[in-house]
Amino acid sequence: MQESLLSHIASSFISEYENVANSSVAYLLNKYPKAQVALQNILDVDNVPTHYITELSTASHGRPDVTGLDLEGNKSVIIEGKFWANLTPNQPNNYIEELCDDGKLLFLAPNKRLGSLKMEINQRLNGESDKIVISSWDNFLSLVEKENNENHNPFLASDLTQMKELCQKMDTEGMPPLSASDLDPMNGRIASHFSDVIDECNAILREWKHANFTGLKTQGKKYGHGFYFRGYDFNCFLSFDSYNWYVNDNHTPIWLEIKNHEWQETEKINHALNYFDSVNSYGNKYGIVLHTGMDKEQVVNHIVSKIKEVLDTKIRPAVARDGGDITFKRFKDGVVEVQLKGSCSGCPSSTMTLKQGVQNILRHYIPDVKEVIAV
């Protein structure tokens, strides 16, 4: 999803992320009845307020994120938008006391935090309360979107896109409260080992005849450690990248980024990567999956092997620019016959291009294709 204006502006005021999100919730609920219907469904109540205020002071000196007032001015709904910050002393007990008899307290949180948040709330309550509802930001916004699909409002759709991007950004970039496992010294040891693995891959690739390191260097980065190199005519960056590891919810910390000779991301490279491994490819980035039980030497050799494989068999054939051409002749009994023209005809690498490029792509999209041959 492309970054929206709202998330971009909010990222400049990172300490105010939650305030921006909560103000946006109040805005949606005040402006769009469809958002109110979605809230009604989440709370499982017959009706909800039509007027919402942010940070309305309470008798216990709390400041709930969003408060919904009924026609008599009673607090019938309180909404607490949480991302990764801890509960405040007033949450949830004092807020429950502020509600009217049939009022509801709603906590909105990232999907990954719902379980721990529920445990934390129940500990403070010494049990459960029928006044508390815990749901995700994604669920709330999806329900609003569902309501909007029935009678489309383009303005609401635009606002929802902005909100989704903001919540996604908060979910991926926010820092959760530290746990004992976060502070385990083994985490530092593992990160150190992955950096060592990258350095050893660097040393091995320098011996590869198709790699060039002239003018390029190893460098630290915000979320890890990596190095640049040229593989054939492609500019590459191999790194230990904790950000992509987490954001893509992928089981690997090792990432290979591939661009053309002008350091540009191209659709052909992206398409070839996706065809090579659609599960672990994201644009021009390829997550090299590791396997449990591998020792350090096996990890290094596996990474280097995958780099050579993807450049040799997918990227290079897919984006080859050799002035040649291939034309279709006929298809019979699972065999595609083509004619090589121009510089492709008689080229030593044409067989590899044909088999590892054209044939693989055709077989991927057309299962009936068994083989591609030149005639």
Is residue 103 assigned to a domain? Answer: yes
Q: How many domains, in total, are found in the chain?
A: 3
- 4: pLDDT strictly greater than 60: no
Is residue 218 assigned to a domain? Answer: yes
Q: For the full predicted model, state whether its pTM sits above 0.85.
A: no
User: H-type helices in 288-357, by residue range?
Assistant: 296-310, 316-318, 350-352
Cβ of 125: how many Cβ atoms within 10 Å? 14
- 324: pLDDT strictly greater than 70: no
Question: Please, what is the average pLDDT of the chain?
Answer: 84
Together in a domain, 85 and 227: no
Domain closes at, from 128, 152, 173? 173
pLDDT in tens, 195-249: 999 999 999 999 999 999 999 888 877 788 999 999 988 999 999 998 888 777 6
Is residue 181 assigned to a domain? Answer: no
pLDDT at res. 146: 95
Tell me which residue range forms the domain holding 286: 186-318
Together in a domain, 302 and 356: no
pLDDT at res. 347: 58
**Which residues, 6+ apart, have CB-to-CB distance to 271 below 8 Å?**
318
* 3-state SS class at 153: coil
Together in a domain, 158 and 204: no
Together in a domain, 9 and 52: yes
pLDDT at res. 100: 92
**Which residues, 6+ apart, have CB-to-CB distance to 353 below 8 Å?**
317, 320, 344, 347
* 3-state SS class at 235: strand
Is residue 329 within 8 A of residue 375, CB to CB? The reply is yes
pLDDT at res. 14: 47
**Which residues, 6+ apart, have CB-to-CB distance to 160 below 8 Å?**
28, 141, 144, 145, 148
Together in a domain, 300 and 331: no
How does DSSP classify residue 73? S
- 328: pLDDT strictly greater than 50: yes
Is residue 79 within 8 A of residue 22, CB to CB? The reply is yes
Q: How far apart are CA 326 and CA 146, in angstroms?
A: 48
- 280: pLDDT strictly greater than 60: yes
